[in-house]
Chain A
Amino acid sequence: MGRYVGTSVKRVEDPRFIQGKGRYVANIQFPDMVYVAIKRSPEAHARITRMDTSAAAAMDGVVAVFTGQDFKDGGCGSLPCGWLVPDTKVPDRPIVVTDRVCHVGDSVAVVAARTPYIAADAVEAIEVDYEPLPTVVDARGAMDEGAPLVHSEIENNVSYHWALGDQEACEKAFAEADEVVEIELVNQRLIPTAMEPRAAAAQWDAASEEMTVWTTSQNPHPIRLLLSAFTLGIPESKLRVISPDVGGGFGSKIFHYPEEVIVPWVARQVGRPARWVATRTESQMTDSQGRDHVTVAKLAMTSDGTFTGLDVETWANQGAYLSTFAPLIPTALYITLLSGNYKMPGVFGKVHGTLTNTVPVDAYRGAGRPEAAYLVERLVDLAATRLGRDPLDLRRQNAIPKEDFPYQTPVAFLYDSGDYDRLMTTAADRADYAGMRQAQAEARAEGKLRGVGVVCCIEASGPAPSAVAGSLGSAVGFWESGEVRVHPTGQVSVFTGSHAHGQGHETTLAQVVADELGVPIESVEVVHGDTGRVNFGMGTYGSRSACVGGSALVRSAEKVRAKVLQLGAHLLEAAEEDVVYDRDTGRVHVKGSPESGKDFGELAFAAYTAHNLPEGMEPGLDFVSFYDPANFTFPASSHICEVEVCPDTWEVRILRYVAVDDVGKVINPMIVEGQLQGGIVQGVGQALTEIGAYSDDGQLLSGTLLEYAVPRADLLPGIEVDRIETPSPHNPLGVKGAGEMGTIAATPAVANAVLDALAPLGVTHIELPLTPERIWRAVQAAGNGA
């Protein structure tokens, strides 16, 4: 282990954040800037029969008003979808609609004005008449015979069907099963709710014909590519996309959004810099949302509790249009995870991606994997109940043994490494599981509704081998770039194609490179988020930045070391095999005589003066690597949650939450713990409070934070986080993803605990979120309670 990797180095980004010195898109300001505001559809599905922008255009301070036709005529292409499974039907998604709106919040017209206040007034002054059309909002109902069509050319509202697994083995498992448990559940829609709303700003230089776009994106390079190739049509060489400090994304800031096209287009059109910042209400109705599955599934087992098969059918709501990676989430990131942490020969899943009059659905923290984990872990609990077995015990019985790694599941993935039994026993020890069960028995004897939830979950993180992604439908590759540029003084600039929006890459990637080179961390600066400074990179999502982005930097650092070593040997007049690169000090010296060596800084300087280089060596010290991972990495977790349900208000109180995770090697324990804690809170939010709900006519019922309940600190006691480490053999750092594991495991952990608490009342299933009323109704339906 190096000096920095494995230690809780304080985050270098925090001083600027806690002093209010972060630089966000909303801080981008130019003297003659225009403020963009967007007229949004209040209708979920309607034909626009009349639009009158004249009053808005005539208002004092309004610079311009544009309609969908203006954008079309002005060369804006529709938003593409970047992941297409076979036979995907892709509805056209214009930047601004021309004649028909398909969800509440669809963009209808655009205003540019001298102040944001005037822009908002002008938006209100635009008159639009709508002729309402029939709506459909439900993932499964969308496929019903006679359901209204979101896009008339797409039959049955089906964008795609997809299936994976060993259907024969699955059928055999059910034919031979001693026991089968079944479930039908909804994985409810969630609204990501990053602290910072989405925003975009743009500046056009008419002389050089260069456009700079600032956007709240998790991946500026893919956005530049899409702007250039599809939507805005400015060559990549003339287009610079900058994602400065970004206040949280959780997936919702991966995608290419209309506003990223609208703002630069307007800036060029009016010849002034332009900026748009979403209001919270706009965020709720336009940021791509998460989850929204209806699933029917069953689990087959033998009488001794051995799982033999899992059969899953899911209807995945994709919303009104296909967001950038929408079809990926319920296919290659969901069905592939259905084997969970268990040995099951007969896993088979199929999914129907349907279109509805709702906001598009795409990746949200965990993306597909939480949906799989919640389903599998509920089924396992139902199996334990059926068999009269302890749920932890049944999980341990079926867990893939550590000797079986790498483990090939029936649903495509090859799990890299793990020790699920140790994970679960560590969690059980840490939680005093036996003591919790004892306390539960005592509480029950007093009439209390105490429950314990146990889960063991899997994640696929660090996407992805590019060829594999391509074969599954991706239009892009998922490698990452990393450049290590040593300056003549020995200072180091690190350029990563990944992007930090809360994860702390400026700290962790500096730790990695400082250790690789043996230089002080203070001399390593991490640069990201600017296509003008950083090589093409794929950005941050899927818990990939350490696995893929970090690995790319290791490769570049290795190249730096090799060159420095060669140069050092030359200057020390020794053979290369006789010198060593001391990674603790960054010095190159002759073996056995450290005092004879040369400092990293001296050698860097020598590389740039180039007065005395070995034969054939180029001057300079700067290396780029493009790292394509050999496989995903597979973090795992075992969480134990203890709850009590109040027997008259039906509120859930979490008494303890213990999380033991295996995210492989840990670069910075403090940051990993922060990622897990934050992730867990979001998972608890899905379990207890959050729901993105639509009325049948497509109105968003949780359109503001007065209705949409993001979890607050008082929802949870202190989370107890612990870990085990099984290094990933696939990447040089041995790391696995840490950003999403908490979210994936927390939802089923809490749900299992609550249903365990309610078991004495005969309740076996409640749809999420487990609000007091839903619990009250379930208890009543089971014939119990007040």
Chain B
Amino acid sequence: MFPSQFDYHRAASVAEAVELLSSLPDAKLVAGGHSLIPAMKLRAAQPAALVDIGRIPGLADVSADGDSLVVGALATHAAVADSAAVRSGCPMLAETAAAIGDIQVRNRGTIGGSLAHADPGADYPAAMLALGAEITAVGAGGERTIAASDFFVDILTTALADNEVITSVRVPCVAGGAYLKHRHPASSYAVVGVAACVGMDGGNVGSCAIGINGVTGKAVLAGAAAAALCGGPASADRIAAAAGRVGDAFDEPLGDLYASGEFRAHLAGVYTRRALAVAAERAG
């Protein structure tokens, strides 16, 4: 568990981080270090240099902005889980953050790092998709905003350029949301994690979005299932029927020693049903 040799730089500002990333060969950002450092200790990652953004001021703020929340890239999972603004504005986001790893992981890991790492078993991605979050990043060419649905490209791959730094995430406030996961007994990552958002329109479901991580290489939206729930009441039968459609979202379910792709797909159906029921209840 000894990483190979690397240089260490601490960036004082986002601009400096971008500058270091652009100029140093084979450099990587480090934030909470809870994905990158373990990979380096296994020598699965061997960057020549680390650019530590962990102490850049202002990047860890979490605040409400009208109908949205703005979460700084350095906000730890614990900070998001405990934030009053998040808990009241978007309970599902707090629930997602609280479901990550264990206390130590939540105290160190950051939302920016989790999204940039794009682990198939990470919890945030499903929530970002279901909520329709927007990710703000700064690169050599300035700032840009990327929709969550464009952000996750493949396993451990995002739309970020090599020298881009996530600075914040804008998350719409959604009352009717829920995130539920099946925890891996060893790693505690999501074997399956389902983020469901339900908006009621009178007695009927007016809007619905379902994000799922863990099943495939990247988090996906279960569009067919979500569409199936809209336009009628959020009854147990209709929820079950909608959840029965999640399989459409997976082309190639992943399998491991603990759970095959087939079983993950099964679990996705179960957790979708449960998450939709909670989300609908919260939607009122």
Say whether A associates with B.
Answer: yes
- List A residues at the B interface (Cβ < 8 Å): 116-117, 119-121, 124, 279-281, 648-649, 651, 688-689, 691, 693, 701-702, 704-710, 712, 715, 771-773, 776-777, 786
Interface class of chain A by DSSP:
loop
Contacts of A776 in B (CB 8 A): 263, 266
In the complex, B186 has a CB within 8 A of chain A: yes
Residues B259 and A772 in contact, CB atoms below 8 Å apart: yes
In the complex, B270 has a CB within 8 A of chain A: yes
Residues A121 and B267 in contact, CB atoms below 8 Å apart: no
Of A120, A649, A707, which is within 8 A of B267 by CB? A649
Separation of A688 and B258 alpha carbons in the complex (Å): 11
In the complex, B145 has a CB within 8 A of chain A: no
Of B4, B184, B270, which is within 8 A of A121 by CB? B4
Contacts of A708 in B (CB 8 A): 186
Of A688, A693, A702, A773, which is within 8 A of B260 by CB? A773
B242 to chain A, nearest CB (A): 16
With A121-B5, A280-B1, A708-B186 known, 13 other A-B pairs at CB within 8 A are: A117-B3, A117-B5, A120-B2, A279-B2, A648-B270, A693-B257, A701-B257, A704-B42, A707-B187, A709-B186, A771-B185, A772-B263, A776-B266
Separation of A701 and B5 alpha carbons in the complex (Å): 28
Separation of A280 and B187 alpha carbons in the complex (Å): 14
With A124-B43, A649-B270: A709-B1 Cβ-Cβ less than 8 Å: no
In the complex, B256 has a CB within 8 A of chain A: yes
Proximity bits, B231-258, A CB within 8 Å = 1, else 0: 0000000000000000000000000111
> When A and B form their complex, which 5 residue pairs have the shortest distance between CB atoms, in order from nearest?
A709-B185, A709-B186, A120-B2, A773-B263, A279-B1
Residues A689 and B4 in contact, CB atoms below 8 Å apart: no
> Which of B182, B258, B267 counts the most A-chain CB atoms under 10 A from its CB?
B258
A61 to chain B, nearest CB (A): 11
Of B182, B256, B266, which is within 8 A of A707 by CB? B256
Contacts of A279 in B (CB 8 A): 1-2
Q: Which residues 1-52 in B have Cβ within 8 Å of A in the complex?
A: 1-5, 42-43
B199 to chain A, nearest CB (A): 26
Closest A residue to B41 by CB, please name it.
Answer: A279
Separation of A689 and B258 alpha carbons in the complex (Å): 9
Contacts of A773 in B (CB 8 A): 258-260, 263
Closest B residue to A769 by CB, please name it.
Answer: B185
Contacts of A786 in B (CB 8 A): 266
Proximity bits, B261-284, A CB within 8 Å = 1, else 0: 001001100110000000000000
Separation of A280 and B42 alpha carbons in the complex (Å): 10
Of A649, A710, A771, which is within 8 A of B258 by CB? A771
Residues B2 and A649 in contact, CB atoms below 8 Å apart: no
Contacts of A281 in B (CB 8 A): 1, 42
Separation of A94 and B256 alpha carbons in the complex (Å): 34
Proximity bits, B102-143, A CB within 8 Å = 1, else 0: 000000000000000000000000000000000000000000
Contacts of B4 in A (CB 8 A): 120-121, 124
Separation of A501 and B42 alpha carbons in the complex (Å): 28
B84 to chain A, nearest CB (A): 27
Interface class of chain B by DSSP:
loop
B275 to chain A, nearest CB (A): 13
B12 to chain A, nearest CB (A): 28
Separation of A649 and B193 alpha carbons in the complex (Å): 13
Closest B residue to A691 by CB, please name it.
Answer: B257
A sample of 13 inter-chain contacts (CB < 8 A) reads A120-B2, A279-B2, A281-B42, A649-B182, A649-B270, A651-B182, A688-B185, A689-B186, A706-B184, A707-B187, A707-B258, A773-B260, A786-B266
Categorize the interface residue count of chain B.
20 to 34
Contacts of B263 in A (CB 8 A): 772-773, 776-777
> Which of A116, A715, A776, A777 counts the most B-chain CB atoms under 10 A from its CB?
A776
B1 to chain A, nearest CB (A): 4
Contacts of A710 in B (CB 8 A): 186
Closest A residue to B271 by CB, please name it.
Answer: A649
Closest A residue to B191 by CB, please name it.
Answer: A772
Of A116, A648, A693, A715, which is within 8 A of B2 by CB? A116
B283 to chain A, nearest CB (A): 23
B267 to chain A, nearest CB (A): 6
Closest A residue to B188 by CB, please name it.
Answer: A712
Contacts of B184 in A (CB 8 A): 706, 709
Separation of A521 and B42 alpha carbons in the complex (Å): 48
A296 to chain B, nearest CB (A): 26
Contacts of A772 in B (CB 8 A): 182, 259, 263, 267
Separation of A776 and B1 alpha carbons in the complex (Å): 37
Contacts of A705 in B (CB 8 A): 186-187
Separation of A651 and B263 alpha carbons in the complex (Å): 13
Residues B2 and A117 in contact, CB atoms below 8 Å apart: yes
Separation of A702 and B185 alpha carbons in the complex (Å): 12
Closest A residue to B266 by CB, please name it.
Answer: A776
Contacts of A119 in B (CB 8 A): 2
Separation of A710 and B2 alpha carbons in the complex (Å): 23
B66 to chain A, nearest CB (A): 38
Closest B residue to A715 by CB, please name it.
Answer: B185
Contacts of A715 in B (CB 8 A): 185
Contacts of B42 in A (CB 8 A): 281, 704
Contacts of B267 in A (CB 8 A): 649, 772
Closest A residue to B187 by CB, please name it.
Answer: A706
With A117-B2, A773-B263, A776-B266: A706-B257 Cβ-Cβ less than 8 Å: no
Residues B259 and A689 in contact, CB atoms below 8 Å apart: no
B165 to chain A, nearest CB (A): 28
Contacts of A116 in B (CB 8 A): 2
Contacts of A771 in B (CB 8 A): 185, 258-259
Separation of A457 and B234 alpha carbons in the complex (Å): 51
Closest A residue to B264 by CB, please name it.
Answer: A773
Separation of A116 and B3 alpha carbons in the complex (Å): 10
A24 to chain B, nearest CB (A): 16
A759 to chain B, nearest CB (A): 22
Separation of A117 and B43 alpha carbons in the complex (Å): 12
Closest B residue to A685 by CB, please name it.
Answer: B185
Separation of A786 and B182 alpha carbons in the complex (Å): 17
With A117-B5, A124-B43, A279-B1: A706-B186 Cβ-Cβ less than 8 Å: yes
Contacts of A117 in B (CB 8 A): 2-3, 5
B2 to chain A, nearest CB (A): 4
Residues B186 and A707 in contact, CB atoms below 8 Å apart: yes
> Which of B3, B43, B182, B263 counts the most A-chain CB atoms under 10 A from its CB?
B263
